[in-house]
Chains A and B, each alone.
Chain A
Amino acid sequence: MELEAGLKTKIQEQIQTKDVFLFMKGNPDFPMCGFSSTASAILKQCGVEFGHCNVLEDEDIREGIKAYSNWPTIPQLYIKNEFVGGCDIMKEMAESGELLELLNTRGIKIEIK
């Protein structure tokens, strides 16, 4: 799918609003899908502040983000404008400690709970 320029800009601007940004179904307090729930729980556990976009509220972004990241599923995590991965990768990185390491090296404040 070709990504229309206006939509691309809209996605880019969203990602830039926070150092850590999650595209998900639902919101961190009321995730609407198991994978999105896991993803936001991982970030909460890291004690990191993150922005989110509920793709269920925006059909353009829901489809657009798949083309933007070349990634067919939601959730999707961005750290400092860089695509980190989906739920499985987040889980692996959280378990191995790589996620905290990445947040650290990117200079992002974490408060482990």
Chain B
Amino acid sequence: MTIEQVKLENLLKEKFPDANILVKDLVGDNNHYSVTIESKVFNDLNRVQQHQLVYQSLDGLMDSELHAMQLQTKGI
């Protein structure tokens, strides 16, 4: 299962409207991504909580359509 880069970007933009988001397809296979998100919503959260928020916003995609995602999150 794969997900198109544009679809992943749009989904993240929708869930984190204020954020700076950078999505890279690492292998060019729509299945291994590197994602960096900077958003104010992360400001008061620790790293685990920040990542949990991103995973939740992806709504189960991590299990099904997305095999590998390197994730970096930061407050602003």
- Chain A residues at the B interface, C-beta cutoff of 8 Å: 34-35, 66, 70-73, 83-86, 88-89, 92
Contact = CB atoms under 8 A, between A and B. Distances in A.
Secondary structure type dominating chain B contacts: helix
The 6 closest A-B pairs by CB, nearest first: A72-B62, A72-B55, A88-B71, A89-B47, A85-B48, A88-B70
A66 B63 CA distance: 10
A89 B52 contact: no
A34 B68 CA distance: 10
A16 B29 CA distance: 39
Contacts, number: 29
Nearest to A34: B68
A20 B9 CA distance: 35
B51 A88 contact: yes
A38 B70 CA distance: 12
Nearest to A72: B62
Given A88-B70, A88-B71, 6 more contacts: A35-B68, A66-B63, A71-B52, A84-B48, A85-B51, A86-B51
